[in-house]
């Protein structure tokens, strides 16, 4: 859930930790398109990249700029992190949250993977990669290309050669 505060910046809070006073210190993240996100340090630390920056004292008062992550994707990653730090023990809830979370268009899923890779959020990477793998299962090559919007960049000769090598898998 996102709420807009008085000064126009977005505050994305999760679960039980919506009181951002004493306990949870906040950190500001800037997406590539300049949008501002206020996140608890705990949630931000799920990103090893940001975690190391915080530990090494590289985060100044302004916050962390993430020129590689767009606002819509960053919002999703933050939502994931907030949800996972909020109630890490409620396995069932988390599972159903995760299932809903990855139920997105494949190009969005790829964007999230790239962001999670850059930000080094292992759990999110594993979740999304497993989702991609599950989408590949039992599909033909054409179906996979269509699903992910991938262009076939083999020459007809190359493709024939590839199929010949393991003909049995392409029946």
Partner 1 sequence: MELSSVASMMSLGSLAIQRTYLCSLVFRLLPKLLGFTPSSLKKFCKDVHPPLTETIVGTLPELPQDILMGIFATLEIPDFVRAGAVCRSWRSAYTSLRSPGQYKLSPCLLHTSESAGDSSACLYSLTERRSYKLTLPEPPIRSRCLIGSSHGWLVTVDERSEMHLVNPITCQQIALPSVITLEQVKPIFDEYGVLHKYELSWLTGTTTRYVPPLIFALDKLRDELHYKAFVFPDTSTGSYIVVLIHNPMRQLSFARLGDDKWTWLPPHDLYCDCIYKDGLLYAVSKRGELHTFDISGPVVAMNMVISIPRKDYCEYLYIVEAPWGDLLLIWRIFEDFNLEPDPGASVFWNTTKFRIYELEASGSKLKEINCLRDHVLFLGHNESLCLSAEQYPSLRANHAYFTDDNMFWTLGFKNNHRDMGILNLDDNSKEGLISSQLCSNFPAPIWITPDLRNMNLASGAA
Is there binding between residue 160 and partner 1 (CB under 8 A)? no
Buried b / exposed e along 101-140 (16+ C-beta atoms within 10 A): bbeeeeeebebbbebbbebebeebbebbeebeeebeeeee
**Rounded to whole angstroms, how far apart are CA atoms 8 and 57?**
27
Measure CA of the first residue to CA of the last residue in the chain; give whole Å: 47
Is there binding between residue 168 and partner 1 (CB under 8 A)? yes
Q: Edge-to-edge strand order for the sheet containing 26-30?
A: 2-4, 10-12, 36-40, 26-30, 64-65
Is there binding between residue 122 and partner 1 (CB under 8 A)? no
Is there binding between residue 1 and partner 1 (CB under 8 A)? no
Q: From the CB of 132, what's the least distance to partner 1, in Å?
A: 5
Site for partner 1 in 18-77 (CB under 8 A): 32-33, 49, 53, 56-58, 65-68, 70
Residues lying near partner 1 in the complex (CB under 8 A): 32-33, 49, 53, 56-58, 65-68, 70, 106-107, 110, 113-114, 117-118, 125, 129-130, 132-133, 136-141, 144-145, 148-154, 159, 162-163, 165-171
């Amino acid at each position: 859930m996102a709420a807009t505060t008085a000064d126009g910046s977005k505050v994305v809070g999760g679960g039980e930790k919506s009181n951002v006073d004493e306990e949870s210190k906040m950190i500001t993240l800037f997406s590539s398109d300049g949008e501002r996100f206020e996140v608890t340090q705990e949630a931000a630390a799920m990103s090893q990249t940001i975690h190391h920056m915080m530990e090494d004292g590289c985060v100044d008062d302004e916050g962390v700029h993430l020129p590689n992550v767009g606002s819509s994707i960053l919002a999703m990653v933050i939502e994931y992190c907030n949800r996972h730090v909020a109630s890490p023990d409620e396995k069932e809830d988390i599972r159903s949250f995760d299932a809903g979370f990855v139920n997105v268009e494949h190009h969005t899923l790829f964007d999230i993977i790239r962001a999670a890779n850059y930000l080094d959020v292992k759990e999110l990477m594993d979740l999304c990669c497993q989702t991609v793998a599950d989408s590949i299962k039992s599909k033909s090559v054409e179906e996979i290309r269509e699903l992910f919007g991938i262009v076939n960049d083999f020459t007809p000769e190359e493709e024939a050669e590839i199929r010949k090598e393991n003909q049995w898998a392409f029946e």
